[in-house]
Structure 1
């Protein structure tokens, strides 16, 4: 297939899944984005991986150009399986960021034949005081309650209708955000526009409020410890070492949670790497380093 990039829709049964194939004949790798994103947000990492892998990115259900359908871990894994079958991928590696990393971990648990799975900070956020070792329990509970209020406010903005006159301003704000984060501006704007839905003369943002509510429940209920322990294929978890700017108000919470995630990984025996000077936005911050880390891991797994 050479270096030709090809977009297509895959029939996943109950809904279509949008796929971008970066081409190449090297070992196949499926790259999954996080909640609220889409395949465009993985473009820079996909390009960095392409010299050593045939990279396939996809919009998760309810995101980007994929169809809407009820969210469950089984449904998401079935979507990935449909892509594997219809793209004729032979034992692909699965790599995911955030929500995509959780799906990658679950894929590894169910597919011992996989050459490897990589989770790029695919960890549920803290929701209970036991997720925050070393913190005063009362303070931890108060901080978690406040953090949930922040997430509630963010969720209330999802799926909303965007008045036409506000779209140019939104695009400008996205361009500024891309510059602030050092992201590829063209790729970032494609990602923003890819989550816009135009219907009945109105424009709204994906994912929908219903999808976000389902994802919040699924993610908060997910316990990765038994998943890690049951996984037989090679697995790597890449962890951040610093906060996003918007996390600084909860710096003690996130530091304690990073400690919890490290302890969980160590106890379950999963291989992990703490990426220096990286936050949850590591895919944007250090795509070349991540690509090298992923490809080297899969080559030696």
Structure 2
């Protein structure tokens, strides 16, 4: 670590074309890109990273300025400061922020399904007060999912069994899900399994996510922007019979607002990807095709 900057764990996939930097979502790792990256290297130099506190990267105070600093340092070290940032979920939000702060060298940004839980007015047909009440519950559920206590080592078998069930449900190769899980946990000194990022830094990260006004960021972009949206809904929350209705309403509002943004801005491309939020693992070919097509146009019109 140099100052507040952390030396990130990197998977250098190689390739000789214009560089791409792949950024994962909250609580995930660079392994999420394992099926997409090989499709991208046919056209691009491709790096994937574990963000600070995730995977095999060191921990540290989690704030967006620090995360952006980590990325800047990494790209300078690899000699590719003008790499196109490509992110999924939280990684997509970071990609947009990075492009906004480095407009002279960054040709644009790719955000695949990085929209958080949106604004109450985006939940079409639902009462605002009702939506705010339900979003409080959704955020509590999401925090509980991310802020898990360390587990006994034997519970790894249970986690792997859950990934097996997910593989069958969503059609994702089990080997991919196993790799993603194993990279996202580490063994503590007393032999337990701990999910990353650790609780204090995960709380910092969640606060940073909640502070973002994403459509404000999209509106401020003056470089080409690709916004990918999952065409299938987020899987239900067990015991929450209201969740599917909530997500259906949000999907309508998000689609409406993305279409309006693309109508106003010729440099904004919106693409639907046939998959859930797990699109990188479910449909890597569609994700890669969208990235390649967008990058070709964005880079062709870019002069630093």
Range class of TM-score, shorter chain: 0.7 to 0.9
Aligned-residue Cα RMSD (Å) equals: 2.3
Unaligned runs of 5+ in 1: 1-9
Aligned to 1:30, the other structure's residue is in SS state strand
Match of 1:293 in 2: 290
Q: 1:229 to 1:156 in 2, by over 3 A?
A: closer
Further displaced range: 220-229 or 10-19? 10-19
Q: Distance in 2 between matches of 1:175 and 1:82?
A: 38
Q: Distance in 2 between matches of 1:172 and 1:256?
A: 32
Given that 1:59 and 1:65 are in contact with CA atoms closer than 8 Å, whether structure 2 keeps it comes out as: yes
Aligned to 1:246, the other structure's residue is in SS state coil
Q: Distance in 2 between matches of 1:96 and 1:294?
A: 10
Match of 2:279 in 1: 282
Match of 1:146 in 2: 137
Aligned to 1:57, the other structure's residue is in SS state strand
Given that 1:12 and 1:83 are in contact with CA atoms closer than 8 Å, whether structure 2 keeps it comes out as: no
Match of 1:187 in 2: 176
Aligned to 2:35, the other structure's residue is in SS state helix
1:253 matched to 2:253? The reply is no
Q: Distance in 2 between matches of 1:251 and 1:156?
A: 23
Aligned to 1:135, the other structure's residue is in SS state coil
CA drift of 1:276 comes to: 5.0
CA drift of 1:150 comes to: 2.2
Unaligned runs of 5+ in 2: 299-304
Given that 2:96 and 2:111 are in contact with CA atoms closer than 8 Å, whether structure 1 keeps it comes out as: yes
Aligned to 1:64, the other structure's residue is in SS state coil
Note the 1:65-144 alignment, pairs <5 A: 65-112=56-103, 113-126=105-118, 129-144=120-135
Aligned to 2:159, the other structure's residue is in SS state helix
Aligned to 2:236, the other structure's residue is in SS state helix
Given that 1:161 and 1:202 are in contact with CA atoms closer than 8 Å, whether structure 2 keeps it comes out as: no
Q: Distance in 1 between matches of 2:129 and 2:217?
A: 30
Aligned to 1:202, the other structure's residue is in SS state coil
Match of 2:214 in 1: 224
Further displaced range: 211-220 or 132-141? 132-141
Note the 1:41-80 alignment, pairs <5 A: 41-80=32-71
Further displaced range: 74-83 or 252-261? 252-261
Match of 2:302 in 1: none
Q: Distance in 2 between matches of 1:50 and 1:11?
A: 30
Match of 1:173 in 2: 162
CA drift of 1:94 comes to: 0.8
1:26 matched to 2:4? The reply is no
- CA displacement, residues 92-115 of structure 1 (integer Å, 9 cap, x when unaligned): 111000000000111121222322
- CA displacement, residues 113-151 of structure 1 (integer Å, 9 cap, x when unaligned): 32231100111214x533424312343233223323423
Q: Distance in 2 between matches of 1:12 and 1:189?
A: 34
Q: 1:169 to 1:259 in 2, by over 3 A?
A: closer
Aligned to 1:17, the other structure's residue is in SS state coil
Alignment equivalent of 2:199, drawn from 173, 197, 209: 209
Aligned to 1:124, the other structure's residue is in SS state coil
Q: Distance in 2 between matches of 1:196 and 1:141?
A: 32
